[in-house]
């Protein structure tokens, strides 16, 4: 579907990447603050540590989003603006890996879209039906936000438990494990520890975002509560009702993004962190058990050998 024909997203959408080993990317079309923009994210596995970068290019991202390169008016990669005048020269170059502590979004702005409404207030002649519709939209967004908050609390507990497990796993091999583990197992363990550290960093990031972001007082949560109780619940008309509705909608979308990020971090830590580390440790443990069994067999056979020599 062409970008101009796409409706605004209500959650992250998965888009196939044509001709890319990465397979897909995530997209949020036309956020409220930038209706001429699509926000793109590449999957975590696109840039695995110690591996070659798959050839995900700007052209593939534009094709996935349905944007003609000639309609691009702005472009930022991980928060860094790109001069669109030179876009043609970099269309087929690989997107660089995400740097540490950088924002993971790639934002593309496109021209040729319907004009954005400039008014933040309802027209003076707004009917009761129009007001009721706006209040109903706020009601829906707020109800969904409260449900999302409950799910986020459960996710936060799961992330905390996973963080404890991956932190516990991230350890040096014991002297016995180092002695009996082969070189490949030791190399694999160092690689697994890098994945554990990466998993822990993501878990900490989204635990902190949950504790200090949209679901906390720092994220204007109290404002939403009081606005809902004082304006929306009693259906009290105010001049900036449309802006209030947009604020509630944006709040709900940010919670959905946080939910997606927390779920992805949990899955990443479980599959690429905890499970990978446990598999390597189990291989090392088998080597230790085999060495112990051989040593025990030698001790048991020693008296027989001595008796035979005597």
Give the residue from 75, 110, 145 where a domain finishes: 110
Contact 169, 277 (CB under 8 A): yes
Which of these ranges, 19-33, 105-119, 234-248, has the smallest mean pLDDT?
Answer: 105-119
pLDDT of residue 125: 46
pLDDT of residue 119: 46
Q: What is the mean pLDDT of the chain?
A: 81
| Domain encompassing residue 76 | 3-110
176 shares its domain with 40 = no
> For the sheet containing 37-41, what is the strand order?
13-16, 24-29, 37-41, 106-110, 72-77, 80-81
Reported as a pLDDT band with limits 50, 70 and 90, residue 115 is very low
165 shares its domain with 301 = yes
Residue 120 lies in a domain: no
- Decide: residue 253, CB within 10 A, 0-12 exposed, 13-18 middle, 19+ buried: buried
* Cβ atoms within 10 Å of 213's Cβ, excluding its own: 16
User: DSSP letter at 219?
Assistant: G
283 shares its domain with 142 = yes
Taking the complete model, does pTM exceed 0.85, yes or no?
A: no
**Residues 119-151: b if buried by 16+ CB within 10 A, e if exposed:** eeebeeeeeeeeeeebbebbeebbebbeebbee
54 shares its domain with 162 = no
Contact 119, 10 (CB under 8 A): no
pLDDT of residue 4: 77
- What would the mean pLDDT of 2-18 be, rounded to a whole number? 82
Residue 117 lies in a domain: no
Residue 183 has pLDDT above 80, yes or no: yes
Residue 122 lies in a domain: no
Residue 284 lies in a domain: yes
Residue 116 lies in a domain: no
Nearest 10 degrees: CA dihedral of 158, 162, 163, 165?
150
Q: What angle do CA 250, 252, 254 make, to 5 degrees?
A: 70
Residue 114 has pLDDT above 70, yes or no: no
139 shares its domain with 284 = yes
301 shares its domain with 176 = yes
63 shares its domain with 97 = yes
Which of these ranges, 51-60, 200-209, 255-264, has the smallest mean pLDDT?
Answer: 51-60
Question: pLDDT above 90 covers what percent of the chain?
Answer: 21
139 shares its domain with 252 = yes
- What would the mean pLDDT of 115-123 be, rounded to a whole number? 48
- What would the mean pLDDT of 221-233 be, rounded to a whole number? 90
72 shares its domain with 200 = no
86 shares its domain with 222 = no
90-102: per-residue pLDDT in tens? Answer: 788 888 877 665 6
Residue 194 lies in a domain: yes
- What would the mean pLDDT of 229-235 be, rounded to a whole number? 91
pLDDT of residue 278: 92
pLDDT of residue 163: 95
pLDDT of residue 307: 58
- Position with higher pLDDT, 310 vs 164: 164
140 shares its domain with 84 = no
Reported as a pLDDT band with limits 50, 70 and 90, residue 10 is confident
- Cα of 117 vs its chain's centroid, Å: 31
141 shares its domain with 182 = yes
Residue 56 lies in a domain: yes
Q: Where are the beta strands (DSSP E) in 30-148?
A: 37-41, 72-77, 80-81, 106-110
- What would the mean pLDDT of 112-133 be, rounded to a whole number? 56
For 120, phi then psi, to 5°, come to -110, 5
Report the domain count for the chain: 2
- What would the mean pLDDT of 293-303 be, rounded to a whole number? 74
Give the residue from 53, 82, 110 where a domain finishes: 110
Closest CA to 159 of 212, 210, 215, 207: 207
* Cβ atoms within 10 Å of 85's Cβ, excluding its own: 7
Contact 106, 39 (CB under 8 A): yes
Residue 262 lies in a domain: yes
Reported as a pLDDT band with limits 50, 70 and 90, residue 127 is low
131-140: per-residue pLDDT in tens? Answer: 888 898 899 8
């Amino acid at each position: 579907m062409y970008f101009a024909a796409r409706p605004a997203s209500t959650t992250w959408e998965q888009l196939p990447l044509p001709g890319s080993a990465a397979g897909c990317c995530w997209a949020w079309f036309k956020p409220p603050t930038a209706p001429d923009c699509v926000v793109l994210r590449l999957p975590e596995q696109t840039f695995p540590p110690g591996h070659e970068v798959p050839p995900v290019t700007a052209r593939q991202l534009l094709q996935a989003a349905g944007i003609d390169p000639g309609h691009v008016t702005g472009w930022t990669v991980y928060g860094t603006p790109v001069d669109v005048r030179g876009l043609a020269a970099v269309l087929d170059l690989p997107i660089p890996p995400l740097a540490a502590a950088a924002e993971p979004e790639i934002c593309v702005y496109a021209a040729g879209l319907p004009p954005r409404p400039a008014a933040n207030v309802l027209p003076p002649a707004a009917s009761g039906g129009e007001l009721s519709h706006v209040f109903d939209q706020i009601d829906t967004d707020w109800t969904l936000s409260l449900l999302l908050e409950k799910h986020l609390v459960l996710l936060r507990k799961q992330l905390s438990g996973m963080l404890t497990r991956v932190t516990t796993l991230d350890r040096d091999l014991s002297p016995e494990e180092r002695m009996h583990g082969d070189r490949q197992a030791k190399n694999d363990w160092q690689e697994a520890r890098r994945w554990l550290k990466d998993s822990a960093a993501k878990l900490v990031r989204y635990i902190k975002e949950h504790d200090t972001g949209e679901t906390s007082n720092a994220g204007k949560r109290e404002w939403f509560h009081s606005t809902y109780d004082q304006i929306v619940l009693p259906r009290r008309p105010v001049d900036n009702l449309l802006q209030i509705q947009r604020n509630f909608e944006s709040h709900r979308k940010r919670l959905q993004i946080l939910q997606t990020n927390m779920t992805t971090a949990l899955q990443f830590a479980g599959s690429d962190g905890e499970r990978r580390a446990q598999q390597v440790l189990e291989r090392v443990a088998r080597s230790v058990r085999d060495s112990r069994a051989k040593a025990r067999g030698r001790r048991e056979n020693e008296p027989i050998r001595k008796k035979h020599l005597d």
